[in-house]
Amino acid sequence: MSYGIYLSFNNQMEGFQIPVNPETIDISGSGNSKTYDLIGRGGGTEETRAGEVNVIKNPKLREVSFSSFFPAAIYPFIQADIVFEPMHYVRLIEKWMATRHPIRFIYTGRYLDPILVDSQGGKELNFPASIEKFDWKEAAGSPGEIEYSLTLKEYVFYSARKIEILTAVDGSQATVSAAPKRPDERIRAQFYRLKKNETIVDVSMKFFADAAGKPDSTRYRDIQRVNELSDNQMKQLKEGDMLKIPPY
């Protein structure tokens, strides 16, 4: 089976493939069940008896850890098509850690045996993650090469979900939770200077996307609000004007 590991940041604006695959990848994940003791007679079957019961909750976040090295020479076992000098990887990872923003971890694997490919396909892990630990040192006896170990923890984007009230023909009402938006991993600039002929709606479409990932023109109201602009002031914006950009 062949596999590759990719790390990226800021919606793949930066990233790389791990040049030398680690010998092992440790991926931990478990349930998050909790047990309680019920007092009383309970039901008449083993499944409904009193005593200790198990409540199944959402699973815990996955953790990934592996060790390898960033090569200072081109070896035949290197997996990546593009290889950087070793300190380039170190500087990127340390920069990503300093932003306190999640990266994206991708593991792709594919069976080399055609029979297994047909029957089992490939394997893939793809999720945002925080960099929990990054240790590195220059490899002994190999000047310039960097040995490292990396630990990542799955990250879940969380935000308030909009609730809509629907009214039926008979007048009855029900609340419906709106579908969650696709997570946007981009890091937005705090300020933006208007270009020639640009409007606040253009800025909204440049920085925000809807649930389908398409440019969102409706967020101009959020930009208007954080900049404390009246409708009249918004219409008078011109080239060179600076706008604050909402962080979310």
Least confident of 2-6, 50-54, 60-64, 86-90: 50-54
State yes or no: pLDDT of 120 exceeds 50.
Answer: no
* 134 shares its domain with 95: yes
Q: Residues 64, 70, 71, 74: is their CA dihedral positive or negative?
A: positive
Which domain covers residue 212, as residue numbers? 182-244
Spatial separation of the C-alpha atoms in residues 184 and 213, rounded to whole Å: 9
- Tell me, what's the pLDDT at 116? 40
Q: Is residue 120 part of a domain?
A: yes
With 0-12 / 13-18 / 19 or more C-beta atoms within 10 angstroms meaning exposed / middle / buried, residue 105 is buried
State yes or no: pLDDT of 40 exceeds 70.
Answer: no
Q: Is residue 162 part of a domain?
A: no
- Tell me, what's the pLDDT at 192? 83
State yes or no: pLDDT of 246 exceeds 60.
Answer: yes
Q: Is residue 208 part of a domain?
A: yes
* 142 shares its domain with 187: no
- What's the total number of domains in the chain? 2
* 72 shares its domain with 189: no
* 17 shares its domain with 99: yes
Residue pair 15/5 in contact (Cβ under 8 Å)? The answer is: no
Q: Is residue 47 part of a domain?
A: no
* 19 shares its domain with 123: yes
Q: Is residue 52 part of a domain?
A: no
Mean pLDDT across the stretch 47-68? 72
The single-letter DSSP state of residue 242 is: E
Residue pair 65/49 in contact (Cβ under 8 Å)? The answer is: no
* 6 shares its domain with 94: yes
- Tell me, what's the pLDDT at 67? 95
Spatial separation of the C-alpha atoms in residues 19 and 9, rounded to whole Å: 17
CATH code at 72?
A: 2.40.30
Share of the chain above pLDDT 70, in %: 68
pLDDT, tens digit, 9 for 90 and up, residues 200-220: 999 888 888 766 667 888 889
* 211 shares its domain with 147: no
* 98 shares its domain with 146: yes
- Tell me, what's the pLDDT at 189? 60
Mean pLDDT across the stretch 231-235? 90
Whole-angstrom CA distances from 225 to 116, 160, 162, 200 are 56, 19, 19, 12
Is this model's pTM higher than 0.75 or not? no
Beta-carbon contacts of residue 131 (< 8 Å; ≥ 6 apart): 93, 96, 97, 103, 150, 151, 152
Q: Final residue of a domain: which of 154, 169, 190? A: 154
Q: Is residue 168 part of a domain?
A: no
Rounded-to-10 torsion of CA 193, 196, 197, 203: -20
Q: Is residue 240 part of a domain?
A: yes
Mean pLDDT across the stretch 22-48? 64
- State the average pLDDT for the chain: 78
* 118 shares its domain with 230: no
Q: Is 94 left (phi over 0), alpha (psi -120 to 50) or beta?
A: alpha
Neighbours of 219 (CB within 10 A): 20
Least confident of 53-62, 137-146, 147-156: 53-62
Helix (H, G, I), strand (E, B) or coil at 124: strand
Mean pLDDT across the stretch 121-133? 82
* 131 shares its domain with 20: yes
Spatial separation of the C-alpha atoms in residues 7 and 184, rounded to whole Å: 17
* 206 shares its domain with 117: no
Bridge partners of residue 138, in order along the sequence: 146
* 120 shares its domain with 21: yes
